[in-house]
Structure 1
Amino acid sequence: MSKSSDNQVASKADDQSSTTKITRHVDVAVIGAGTAGQNAFSQASKITKNIVIINDGFWTTTCATIGCMPSKLLIAAANRAHEAESSDQFGIHTEVRIDGKQVMARVQAERDHFANSVKKQVEGWPADKKISGRAYINKQGLIEVNDEIIKADKIIVATGSSPFVPDDWLNNLGTTLLTSDTIFELSDLPVSMAVIGAGAIGLELAQAMTRLGVAVTLFNNVNRVASLKDEAINQKAIECLSSDLTMKLATEVTEVGTLTTEDKKLQAFINYKDKEDNKSRWEGQYVLVATGRRNNIEQLGVGNLGVVLDDSNKPQDLDIATGQIGDLDVYIIGDANAHIPLLHVASDEGFSSGNAVCKDNDDAYVRAPAVPFSIVFCEPQITNVGMSLPEIKNSGLEYVIGEVSFDNQGRSRVMGVNCGLLHVYGCKKTHTILGASMVGPDAEYIGHIIANAITNDLSVKDLLNMPFYHPTILEGLRTALRDVQDKMSISRQPNDAQQDGL
């Protein structure tokens, strides 16, 4: 169907509109009120007042309520404790007492502050534009919610995602099971915990809990953390993180369950084996399952709009800028499309889809898809920017890898955070940066600089012409860039051979 043809969503509804009582006809319906949905609604509301937003559950965002902000609050407390406990190297000796109830109370209070800020924004929207309830798209392409039947000319789906837990784990672990949706509701810090999954969520929470005095064991089925695809960076990350985190990598969890202790307390257990088939058991208070999230779309009925999902529930024929599905007047955005489940991506997709639903698409302001960019807020931090090393190898592009170790980098050593490695992937043809991977101090800031360089098509020379103040951790980036320059046989400036940070 072409965009100039009759609207497919509307025409599906018209087929049987004579037998279905439509209670409302809108230009745009947004389903889901997380980051993506709220942005889409706000932008589309500037174009049309004939709009509705439907939401099942809390009217805040995953980030504010159960994601980015509460996890960073927990990490902030953990880092304070770690800095105090590791101050002996500076000649500062102190005794740290961690009040678990106070830690969790602050996490929850500040989390509620962020969530309430989002709620206030939503409360400012017209009441007749908001519907609380679970939406379903029927075979006529109409939206059923509560006692309403809504015909929408354009539909934006932003239903987010939920933690994935295998069914047998869900049943076997019972009340000892935690997910990223429930862990921040604990009133006190646990005594012990297993974390299954060493992706961003599992890694961050495992280390934070460890630094707060919880006995934590992190399990992962491969010898990898944070989904790192550069093996040298992965091995360095494992080395750095192993200093204060117990990890069981390349292990297979064969069984999970609960048992009752002698003092009649419920306890969790995990049976697992390593790659040599050696079998072991872990026992403790809770199991945090961090095996990824799945989009909330399968039960919505998007197939009745002509949307095709693959085996992973990812919509096919997706425009990654706007979330539009082919030439349908259907947009699937944020975590719901399972493209890149990160808040800044969801925000951009919401903004773009909200603009793209205007009648004259030529006037729409659609944000270009951002350079791939992720940060894991463990210590040391992990960041990946641009193309990954496997993607570059598969592309056939000629490349070089510039690197710098932070183990002896000047400011990093001064601060006592000198463990890390940065790889910058340079294109030999264009002298630009293709991507980068890093574990180390200040990775979030170095990642931003590299992302901006790729976005603005800056050359390695352009970056080296930027100021690097001494002594800073960011000087390590200059060392890696100079290494890229050397390997691409570009003329160097005088004194470039001097080591950064010393």
Structure 2
Amino acid sequence: MGQSSTNQITRKVSVAIIGAGTAGQNAFRQAQKTTENIVIINDGIWTTTCATIGCMPSKLLIAAAARAHEAKNSDEFGVHADVQIDGKQVMARVQAERNRFAGFVQDQVDSWPEDKKISGRAHINKQGLIEVNDELIAADKIIVATGSSPFIPDDWADKLGETLITSDTVFELTDLPTSMAVIGAGAIGLELAQAFNRLGVEVTLFNRANRVGGLQDESINQKAIECLSYELNMQLNSEIKEVGKQTNANDTVSAFIDYQDSAGQSQRWQGDCVIVATGRRNSIDQLGIENLGVELDDKNRPKNLNINTGQIGDLEVYIIGDANAHIPLLHVASDEGFSAGSEVCRDNVGAYIRPPAIPLSIIFCEPQIATVGMSLPEIKQSERQHVTGKVSFDNQGRSRIMGVNCGLLHIYGCKETDKILGASMVGPDAEYVAHIMAVAITNELSIKALLDTPFYHPTILEGLRSALRDVQKQMAIPFQTEKKKQDGF
């Protein structure tokens, strides 16, 4: 292809960054502070997944859905409303505000020197050189931040045709459909299914397992299913046998799904469209990354990954963000980009390698789902002596006042250290409870230290105090008794 086909190197750089999402942009900003000989290569949009097709448009849709839900379900408060939802206006606002957020990202990219940006699809050849457009680039260090794309089961794109929607395309809808199926009950599936349902779309959510939100604590999982089932039609523990589309009598096209339900009965769903939310996958195996000496496992995850910086073993190769499939969350991608951008500039006295963040996940359905720190299976596998502090939000004061009283919080406390190992929750204000737990775990605060802080009345966060008190009650006396026996008393 062009000059590259003649094996004539057209550019030599100290650092080449492939991919300009959150991780790639952070790496570029950090590295260019001390390295002028740098290039960033990107295929497609120069904004981020979060701003354009992820975090921000989904929260815009959820915000509209929350307004509709509150208005339609205010009778118990003595507030009666006739709710009319304008689907075109809903989606127009989502897109306008989405474009505004994405515009801020684009403005920053536009401020970068043009000679340091290349638009095109990169490929690493057998000599370890980067081929892009008509260039052949030699780089001392390469940062790969090519992100991820929606996973679509084999043949579904052909079988469903125009009725297939992914998380990359859903926010381009110009109006709300009448009915839809959502496949997958992870974060993306739950958020989209509930939001569209609240906006008047007839939604059916499918998931192969009897599980939502990836919850590993079965009690929390069952409570989440209970709370969400009050308004959302969920076909959990179901198996999809076939999908397709058909032309109706009025020349419209609809989708269908043949599936086996949880009782083993054959069923058919039919509706306007199918949103596939079965997760995202990286695609670094198509980049030629093996030509740099990088080995991938059977799930396309790089081996010998430094989770702080993204460096692969002792190679001058860094794989960051969703591309490494480690923890595909924005704040993790941001930290990895910052750290990789610092690491490639070893003469930068101001470089700072961010420590790996503790696991933190929040799903913005209602009630919210949050997990932080170690999961219950991980704690059990580690054989740590632990207790589980519990609180139900079904009758918690402020939650009941607000009419959001469905939820359960579990806090896993370590008996030996009086510290928090992790927490899992479904309930109101879970995003704030999770952040408090994350601060506590990161700073190794004791249960006593947390209980010594004020909890204002009446707030939903008082439920957190109840769970902490339950942890303290369960582990204080037994642990002291065990310790005295060990000490010979």
Band of TM-score, shorter chain: over 0.9
Any idea what the Cα deviations from partners look like across 1:314-341, whole Å, max 9, x if unmatched? 0000000100000000000000000000
Letter in 2 for 1:219: F
Are residues 1:119 and 2:106 paired?
Answer: yes
Q: SS in structure 2 opposite 1:36? A: helix
| 1:162 paired residue among 149, 171, 185 | 149
CA distance in 1 between partners of 2:381 and 2:360 (Å): 19
The 5-angstrom pairing of residues 81-96 of structure 1 reads 81-96=68-83
How big is the shift at 1:20? 2.6
Q: Which residue of 2 aligns with 1:73?
A: 60
Structure 2-normalised TM-score?
A: 0.96
Q: SS in structure 2 opposite 1:345? A: helix
The 5-angstrom pairing of residues 309-328 of structure 1 reads 309-328=296-315
| 2:15 paired residue among 28, 31, 36 | 28
8 Å contact 2:236–2:262 — kept in the other structure? Answer: no
The 5-angstrom pairing of residues 270-285 of structure 1 reads 270-285=257-272
Identity rate, percent: 73
Letter in 1 for 2:447: V
CA distance in 1 between partners of 2:314 and 2:453 (Å): 44
The 5-angstrom pairing of residues 282-293 of structure 1 reads 282-293=269-280
Q: Which residue of 1 aligns with 2:483?
A: none
| 2:431 paired residue among 434, 444, 448 | 444
How big is the shift at 1:298? 1.3
Any idea what the Cα deviations from partners look like across 1:80-135, whole Å, max 9, x if unmatched? 00000010010000100000000000000000000000000000100000000000
Are residues 1:197 and 2:184 paired?
Answer: yes
The 5-angstrom pairing of residues 131-142 of structure 1 reads 131-142=118-129
CA distance in 2 between partners of 1:105 and 1:225 (Å): 30
Q: Which residue of 1 aligns with 2:224?
A: 237
CA distance in 2 between partners of 1:330 and 1:362 (Å): 21
8 Å contact 2:294–2:302 — kept in the other structure? Answer: yes
Are residues 1:306 and 2:289 paired?
Answer: no
CA distance in 1 between partners of 2:262 and 2:83 (Å): 38
The 5-angstrom pairing of residues 387-398 of structure 1 reads 387-398=374-385
Q: SS in structure 1 opposite 2:476? A: coil
User: Which stretch has the larger CA shift, 290-299 or 269-278?
Assistant: 269-278
CA distance in 1 between partners of 2:272 and 2:455 (Å): 48
How big is the shift at 1:275? 4.0
Q: SS in structure 1 opposite 2:255? A: strand
Unaligned runs of 5+ in 1: 1-16, 492-502
CA distance in 1 between partners of 2:312 and 2:305 (Å): 5
Letter in 2 for 1:93: H
Q: Compared with structure 1, are the counterparts of its residues 490 and 471 closer, same or farther at alpha carbon in structure 2 (3 Å cutoff)?
A: farther
How big is the shift at 1:170? 1.1
Q: SS in structure 2 opposite 1:39? A: helix
How big is the shift at 1:489? 2.1
Letter in 1 for 2:115: D
CA distance in 1 between partners of 2:55 and 2:283 (Å): 19
CA distance in 2 between partners of 1:224 and 1:166 (Å): 20
Structure 1-normalised TM-score?
A: 0.93
CA distance in 1 between partners of 2:283 and 2:91 (Å): 28
Q: SS in structure 2 opposite 1:287? A: strand
Q: Compared with structure 1, are the counterparts of its residues 490 and 39 closer, same or farther at alpha carbon in structure 2 (3 Å cutoff)?
A: farther
Q: SS in structure 2 opposite 1:167? A: coil
Q: SS in structure 2 opposite 1:364? A: coil
User: Which stretch has the larger CA shift, 445-454 or 293-302?
Assistant: 293-302
CA distance in 1 between partners of 2:287 and 2:61 (Å): 34
Unaligned runs of 5+ in 2: 479-489
CA distance in 2 between partners of 1:340 and 1:361 (Å): 27
Q: Compared with structure 1, are the counterparts of its residues 390 and 362 closer, same or farther at alpha carbon in structure 2 (3 Å cutoff)?
A: farther
CA distance in 1 between partners of 2:344 and 2:34 (Å): 8
Q: Which residue of 2 aligns with 1:49?
A: 36
| 2:212 paired residue among 214, 218, 225 | 225
Q: Which residue of 2 aligns with 1:149?
A: 136
Letter in 2 for 1:203: L
8 Å contact 2:16–2:41 — kept in the other structure? Answer: yes
Q: Which residue of 2 aligns with 1:5?
A: none
How big is the shift at 1:167? 2.3
CA distance in 1 between partners of 2:262 and 2:390 (Å): 31
Any idea what the Cα deviations from partners look like across 1:294-353, whole Å, max 9, x if unmatched? 012111000000000111100000000100000000000000000000000000000000
